[in-house]
């Protein structure tokens, strides 16, 4: 039998006899981090080009959000990874999302996202996030840092994303007040899972829309503020096509959640 002949194990490549070398471990995956999110509006015609049917433009046409996040993430298969090897559990990302809807249910699709570690790059492909490698920087606030300080009215934070030698996204937030969790935009991700067919490039092996199965989502210590955001011209990226933009403010908060897997909602 095939199961007797094939002894290699793992959730993703590489498959090995012990199964411990996979780039991504079996879900559930557990996340905790701090999110700077910057809310903007742009021309709905520009947004519409990024929304594949059967998704439709959202109830607030032209709305988008950029997240600069630093995550700690471990799996059920190896919950001690943050201690065993922090490099395999900590990463940063810059995520650009556009509001859309599916059969009347509003949500967001992510046309652009950059991360700085290989395990989250591969996990994005599994889930349906179009991740690329980049370098993400963000201001760190600490109550004991002279001349900078911690979270307070007037505190300033900047996020920068660069890739292949180019600056891609830059955003900033100036804290104006503490806020309630209910003020945060409700985010539901519609994900495009797409894997090419090695025999016929014109016919993908996998082409479908999915949503993540999320539980135990929590936010805390929410701050609101005045935001700014820039998308830069690039020889390789198309993100500048979202410009010009109008800012709608921003937030900074802590966040935790569990992703248990996903559910396919449409097959092309």
pLDDT tens-digit readout, 221-249: 999 999 999 999 999 999 999 999 999 99
User: What's the distance, CA 178 to chain centroid?
Assistant: 24
As a whole number, mean pLDDT of residues 13-28 equals 96
Q: How distant is the alpha carbon of residue 211 from its chain centre?
A: 13
Residue 57 pLDDT class (50, 70, 90 cuts): very high
pLDDT recorded at residue 2 = 56
Rounded distance, CA 24 to CA 81, Å? 12
Phi-psi region of 164 (alpha: psi -120 to 50; beta: other; left: phi over 0): left
DSSP for 98-157 reads EEEEETTEEEEEEEEEEESSHHHHHHHHHHT--EEE-EEEE----TTSTTT-SSSTT-EE
Determine the 3-state secondary structure of 185 from DSSP: coil
In the chain, the domains with their CATH numbers are: 23-267 (2.40.400.10)
pLDDT digits (tens, 9 = 90+) for 89-132: 999 999 999 999 999 999 999 999 999 999 999 999 999 999 99
- pLDDT (0 to 100) of residue 199: 97
pTM for this predicted structure: 0.96
Give yes or no for residue 1 having a pLDDT over 90.
no
Share of the chain above pLDDT 70, in %: 99
């Amino acid at each position: 039998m095939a199961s007797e002949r094939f002894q290699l194990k793992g959730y993703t490549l590489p498959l090995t006899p012990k199964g411990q070398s996979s780039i991504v471990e079996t879900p559930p995956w557990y996340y905790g981090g701090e999110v700077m999110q910057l809310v903007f509006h742009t021309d709905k015609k520009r947004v519409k080009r990024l929304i594949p049917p059967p998704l439709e433009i959202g109830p607030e046409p032209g709305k988008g959000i950029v997240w600069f996040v630093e995550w700690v993430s471990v799996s059920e298969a190896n919950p001690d990874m943050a201690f065993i090897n922090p490099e395999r559990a900590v990463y940063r990302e810059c995520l650009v999302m556009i509001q859309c809807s599916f059969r009347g249910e509003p949500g967001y699709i992510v046309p652009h996202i950059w991360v700085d570690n290989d395990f989250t790059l591969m996990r994005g492909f599994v889930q349906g996030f179009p991740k690329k490698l980049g370098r993400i920087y963000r201001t760190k606030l600490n109550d004991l840092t002279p001349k900078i300080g911690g979270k307070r009215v007037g505190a300033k934070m900047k996020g920068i994303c660069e890739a292949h030698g180019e600056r891609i996204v830059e955003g900033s937030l100036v804290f104006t007040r503490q806020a309630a969790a209910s003020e945060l935009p409700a985010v539901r991700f519609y994900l495009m899972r797409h894997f090419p067919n090695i025999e016929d490039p014109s016919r993908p092996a996998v082409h479908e829309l999915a949503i993540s199965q999320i539980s135990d989502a929590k936010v805390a210590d929410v701050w609101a503020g005045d935001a700014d955001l820039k998308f830069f011209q690039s020889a390789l990226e198309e993100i500048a096509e979202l410009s010009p933009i109008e800012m709608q403010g921003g937030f900074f908060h802590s966040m935790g959640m569990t992703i248990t897997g996903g559910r396919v909602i449409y097959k092309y």
